[in-house]
Amino acid sequence: MARPLRILYPNAFYHVTCRGNDRRVIFRDDHDRARFLDRLRSAREIFSVRVHAYVLMSNHFHLIVETLKTNRAMPTVVVAGRD
């Protein structure tokens, strides 16, 4: 069952996190991290969010984002990338 749509408010702050399945590694090296940051840069423009902070760990990441508009959810799949 899918979770209900998360309502986003303008100028609100959100803690976004994503962990690899079974806590497996999602960033193997600096190239993976650089690619993630490129996708994050693109996604923040598409979804009108400001990234205030981020932490990239080997098996997960954390973002602190501010929404600039209402209901422009930034799907983690866009940032994390599903190749």
pLDDT one-digit tens code per residue, 52-78: 999 999 999 999 999 888 755 555 545
The percentage of residues in the chain with a pLDDT greater than 70, rounded to a whole number, is: 78
In a domain, 21, yes or no: yes
Residue 38 resides in a domain: yes
Average pLDDT over residues 7-15: 85
* C-beta atoms surrounding 4 within 10 Å: 6
Identity of the amino acid at 74: M
Q: How far apart are CA 12 and CA 9, in angstroms?
A: 6
Classify residue 22 by its DSSP letter: G
- 67 in a domain, yes or no? yes
**Averaged over 8-33, what is the pLDDT?**
92
Contact 65, 16 (CB under 8 A): yes
Q: What share of the chain is helix, strand, coil (3-state, %, to 5)?
A: 30, 30, 40
pTM, two decimals, is 0.77
On whether residue 2 sits in a domain, the answer given is: no
Strands 49-56 and 13-19: unpaired
Q: Give pLDDT, residue 33.
A: 96
Tell me how many domains the chain contains. 1
Is residue 57 situated within a structural domain? yes
**By residue range, what is the domain housing residue 19?**
13-80
